[in-house]
Amino acid sequence: MSILDPTDIQGFTLRGYTFPVARFLFLKISDTKKGREFVTELVSKLTTGEKWDKTHRPRTTVNVAFTYPGLVALGLPQASLQSFPVEFVQGMKARGAILCDVEKNAPQHWDRVWQEGPVHIWLGVYAESAEELEQKCAELKALAERSGGLVVAGMQDAAALIIDGQRSTKEHFGYTDGFGNPDYSGVDRDSQNGQGKLSPDGRTWLKLATGELLLGYADEAGELPPAPVPHLLANNGTFMVYRKLHQNVATFRAYIKEKAKLYPGGEKMLKAKFVGRFPDGTPLELSPDREDPAIVKDKSRNVDFTYGADPDGVRCPFSAHIRRANPRDAFGFHGQLINRRRITRRGLTYGPYTSECEPGDDSAEHGVIFMALNASIFRQFEFVQQQWIEYGNDARQGNDRDALLGRHDGKGKFVIPGTDDAGNPPFICGGLPSFVQLRGGDYFFIPSITALKMIGLGAVDPR
């Protein structure tokens, strides 16, 4: 495999930022020449994939991505534009039927910025403090305004939840988040057993092929993922899925409380069965009966598990969220059927936290900004969203959707398998409401630094 050059890859692509606050700016381009000039000036302000140490960690980061209409507005040659994968060209809104983004998840219910014509540019800004975030965003807005060819059409704030006065890694339903992003060959990061793929004999964990994340490198099939021309435009770039997911906190809490009255394990165990982890992050496969903080804190254990020894879903239900989103070896063949469906998750909560002592409010502005990075939106994100989140066949659940993320509207069900023991029958959670609703988003291309310089100069040549 070629050695990666982290200085040519945007930092957002290679690392999951752990900054407590972020803002995503959505820009529209009104003038091609001035848009290119903006890109050229922006390049020097971007955060690359170079690894930090504690003494050189930046206080803020900036990264950029473009929709297909954004690349059109920047005047890329027609041959280059036509070479992008069709799902990226069409955009997320047009893919609604494939993604099951219908009814309450349909575009007419999205935030205004996603309804008022296409967004062209995504700027992701992360910071150590709210003050530093405001300062950096003000600089970027001023840069856009000076260009005379761009307008900030909207923005989205996000931040780690503050619970009991402390920053938390939990999301609004109360689950600890942030486990298990994939390891890729050539990407310098702290690796953990369980983050990559199983070896052909199922005994060890290996890194996934670079081409599952980055364009220009071989993927798990030994092929180059479909990418735009010329090669320099695609190389070291990736595609990003941006989705704003509103969480119906009151509905979720009320449903769990009601069903737990009948479920022998109580509320905490029922929540664990829904996701496959207890609220503190303990995976059911490693500790099926109780939370275990020692496992959560141990990076050599907290993602190192498989489902092959739990074929009936007794420890972790087939339909638990983490088992559906990453089935590992649940389909047999030591997980070889899963390796081309992995995605890298980036995300952060938005909106204030509601205390567990309160019932919650579905109308409040709170949820998760979900971002997925992948070399193929169609083969990776769209497959997972359609086949594993919204359909249940692969999880042996028929038409049952993912209990947490699926579109239910009071008609879904979630089955917790029992055992042959007469005292442990299956438990069925019926009448599932929708706990999560889509509020907007799109598909973006995250170019390399080299590609950004070419775009800024108008020097993209498909020949």
Same domain, 249 and 236: no
- Residues with Cβ within 8 Å of 199's Cβ and at least 6 positions away in sequence, in order, are 205, 206, 334
CB neighbourhood size of 361 (10 A): 12
- Whether pLDDT at 180 is above 90: no
Span 19-28, pLDDT tens digits: 999 999 999 9
In the chain, pLDDT over 90 holds for what percent of residues?
A: 87
Give the Cα separation of 29 and 136 in Å (integer).
Answer: 21
In the chain, pLDDT over 70 holds for what percent of residues?
A: 99
- Whether pLDDT at 274 is above 70: yes
Same domain, 86 and 188: yes
In-domain check, residue 26: yes
Predicted local confidence at residue 424, as pLDDT:
80
Contact 60, 103 (CB under 8 A): no
In-domain check, residue 357: no
Predicted local confidence at residue 339, as pLDDT:
94
Span 395-412, pLDDT tens digits: 888 889 999 999 998 888
Predicted local confidence at residue 209, as pLDDT:
96
Best CA proximity match to 81, nearest among 64, 69, 93: 69
Instruction: Compute the Cα dihedral for 7, 9, 15, 16 and give only its sign.
Output: positive
Span 183-223, pLDDT tens digits: 999 998 888 899 999 999 999 999 999 999 999 999 999 99
Same domain, 165 and 270: no
In-domain check, residue 143: yes
pTM: 0.97
Predicted local confidence at residue 179, as pLDDT:
87
Mean pLDDT score, 221-233 = 95
- Residues with Cβ within 8 Å of 133's Cβ and at least 6 positions away in sequence, in order, are 21, 22, 23, 60, 125, 126, 127
- Residues with Cβ within 8 Å of 416's Cβ and at least 6 positions away in sequence, in order, are 263, 273, 317, 426, 427, 428, 429
Span 97-122, pLDDT tens digits: 999 999 999 999 999 999 988 999 99
Mean pLDDT score, 278-298 = 96
Same domain, 429 and 320: yes
Same domain, 226 and 262: no
As a residue count, the chain comes to 463
Site of tokens 């070889």: 336
Same domain, 155 and 50: yes
Same domain, 96 and 170: yes
Span 44-61, pLDDT tens digits: 999 999 988 878 899 999
In-domain check, residue 379: no
- Tell me the pLDDT band of 2, cut-offs 50, 70 and 90: low
Span 123-135, pLDDT tens digits: 999 999 999 999 9
Predicted local confidence at residue 3, as pLDDT:
76
Same domain, 275 and 324: yes
Domain interval for residue 391? 245-341+386-438
Contact 150, 27 (CB under 8 A): yes
In-domain check, residue 302: yes
Predicted local confidence at residue 463, as pLDDT:
83
Predicted local confidence at residue 422, as pLDDT:
65
Contact 23, 157 (CB under 8 A): yes
CA 446, 452, 457: angle at the middle one, nearest 5? Answer: 150
Same domain, 212 and 253: no
Span 414-429, pLDDT tens digits: 999 988 776 788 999 9
- Whether pLDDT at 1 is above 70: no
Same domain, 175 and 281: no
Span 364-383, pLDDT tens digits: 999 999 999 999 999 999 99
Predicted local confidence at residue 398, as pLDDT:
87
Give the Cα separation of 152 and 155 in Å (integer).
Answer: 8
Span 431-455, pLDDT tens digits: 999 999 999 999 999 999 999 999 9
Of 5-19, 151-165, 386-400, give the lowest mean pLDDT range: 386-400
Same domain, 12 and 31: yes
Same domain, 265 and 223: no
In-domain check, residue 136: yes
Span 304-338, pLDDT tens digits: 999 999 999 999 999 999 999 999 999 988 888 89
What domain count does the chain have? 2
In-domain check, residue 150: yes
In-domain check, residue 1: no
Give the Cα separation of 13 and 6 in Å (integer).
Answer: 10
